[in-house]
Chain A
Amino acid sequence: MSIPSQKTCPGVPYKASRAPAAVLCPFRAYYAFFVRISDKGGLFINSGKKLVIALCVLAVLVSGAFFAYRHLTPKVAEGTKTITVSVRHADGQLRTFKITTAAEYLSGALEQEKLIEGTEGQYGLFVTSVDGEAVDSSKQQWWGYTKSGAYVDTGVDKTVISDGDSYEFSLHAGQ
């Protein structure tokens, strides 16, 4: 087997490795870059004026984040609302429920009707059973849901409900 040239990665000595040199080169060069910069003391910013400007920029960023949270987070609707929940079972049977509730989140409305069961996990409530049909983990089954046919990117305990909403639950298998 021929030994690769030492010029395969400029500035970094050749060392036999199982990984291809083309993969290792960028990482070695990246590490060597920081070693060189930091060994020379790095960049230097110590001007009071620049620090005050940076502090002001940070304050603006914090305010911006707070503003985004206040105005972009879905608002909780107070009072009684009526929603429609359809459940498509594994055998194709479709059952529809009209729920009148004062709950703010979808999980509250479903638990009120005893329609779901689940376990609390790292990412909130993980639904394990809907309308009496439990998932079979050996078949990698899971309950998914949409709102008026559109994908919902929050769990049932984070989904804010409004009057007239329509949700569809269906059993999926696999990833």
Chain B
Amino acid sequence: MLMGLFNHWIVVVLMMIGLYIMIAHGNLIKKIVGLAIFQTSVFIFYISIAKVDGGTAPVLADNFSQYSNPLPHVLILTAIVVGIATTALALSLVVRIKEAYGSIEEEEIQKQDNQIQSEQEVGGQT
């Protein structure tokens, strides 16, 4: 059973590592890398389900009769490209946040936001 389910357990481990990086680290770029690790672990899951023992790549040739399942390959091809689109947009948001707040650490950004909010409340009262 270990050999049969090894791929799936490694996928769960990678998913949890990606989740941990996203929630426990404060640096925005580290969070984006954690998101990429999470996405890649899902790709690994789909592709390892698609594999058939004794099969070959799904390109038709005369001397092969058993092929791996092509449908998850198609889904993951779309997912990889959507992942890079998400990463590019997230990185451009990080650049703008750096220009606006001067830092990309979550705690410092939170502090500056709280400061601005309390100044606005004080200014609103007087």
A and B bind: no
Chain B interface residues (CB < 8 Å from chain A) = none
